[in-house]
Amino acid sequence: MKASPSDQRSLLDLSRVDVELQRAEEARRNPPQAARVKELLAVRGEQGRALVEKSNARDDLKVLLGRVESDISVARVRQDRDRDRLEKTAVARDARALESEIEALTARIDGLETQQLELMEQLQAADDDVAAQQSLLDQTSAEGQELSAGGKQAVEKAAAELEQLTRDRAALVEKIPADLVADYDRLAARGPAVGHFQHGTCGGCHMALAPTHVAQLRKTADDEVFHCPECGGIIVRTAESGLA
């Protein structure tokens, strides 16, 4: 295949645009924030489950405390009733029975109030645990939201770059012979498509050519397309190639 040296050099520009297109497409599909957002989703799930566990434990304490407070209330009502009956009874045996029950109720109330204080302390600690866990969850959510917003902006930026690069590529392709572009696209589908030859090395596969191949390249006409014997890509020669 024949192509002017300038058209062959244009392939280097086309290759650079294609590299940028790949980079922009990768950025659009996988913004830099994506991996961290995925991690935060997993962390948020664990923190959410921990919050439910802590909330359930706190709610159990509330129920237990409510029962103790109800028992205290019932015991006090009975105690007040017995004291009222004690003041009104004239029977010694009934008075002793009431006094005994009042003492038992007093002991029960003392025990229940001790349990009440312990439960209140446990409930306060549980409330603190729930609040701390909620704070962790809120922080994770806030970071996730911020990163998601940044990721959205990165995707939008990459999409805009893709549009511009696609236009740049189309403009380049219009200036290059169709058969040369077709050869380039065929090669690009499987590996290095083009490379600048410098210092005895193919810029596509970065392999040093054997002296016999360099000699062959030196003898090849400038308008003859030369393919790298190592990677098959088009070798582009310029004044910096050292073939003169």
Q: State which amino acid sits at residue 22.
A: Q
CATH of the domain at 154: 1.10.287.1490
217 and 152 co-located in one domain: no
Is 115 domain-assigned?
A: yes
Helical segments of 3-91, H only: 5-29, 34-88
Q: How many structural domains comprise the chain?
A: 2
Q: How far apart are the first and last CA of the chain?
A: 22
41 and 18 co-located in one domain: no
Which parts of the chain register pLDDT below 70?
A: 244
37 and 150 co-located in one domain: yes
Q: What is d(CA 91, CA 94) in angstroms, rounded to the nearest whole number? A: 5
47 and 133 co-located in one domain: yes
Is 18 domain-assigned?
A: yes
97 and 138 co-located in one domain: yes
196 and 227 co-located in one domain: yes
Instruction: Identify the pLDDT of residue 244.
Output: 67
86 and 114 co-located in one domain: yes
52 and 69 co-located in one domain: yes
Is 164 domain-assigned?
A: no
Is 168 domain-assigned?
A: no
Instruction: Identify the pLDDT of residue 92.
Output: 86
Instruction: Identify the pLDDT of residue 237.
Output: 93
Which structural domain range is residue 39 located in? 28-159
Give the C-alpha distances (Å, rounded to integers) separating 36 from 118, 141, 144, 147.
43, 12, 8, 8
Is 170 domain-assigned?
A: no
194 and 237 co-located in one domain: yes
Contacts of residue 33, Cβ cutoff 8 Å, sequence gap at least 6: 147, 148, 150, 151, 154
148 and 33 co-located in one domain: yes
35 and 155 co-located in one domain: yes
Is 219 domain-assigned?
A: yes
Instruction: Identify the pLDDT of residue 71.
Output: 97
42 and 11 co-located in one domain: no
Contacts of residue 113, Cβ cutoff 8 Å, sequence gap at least 6: 72
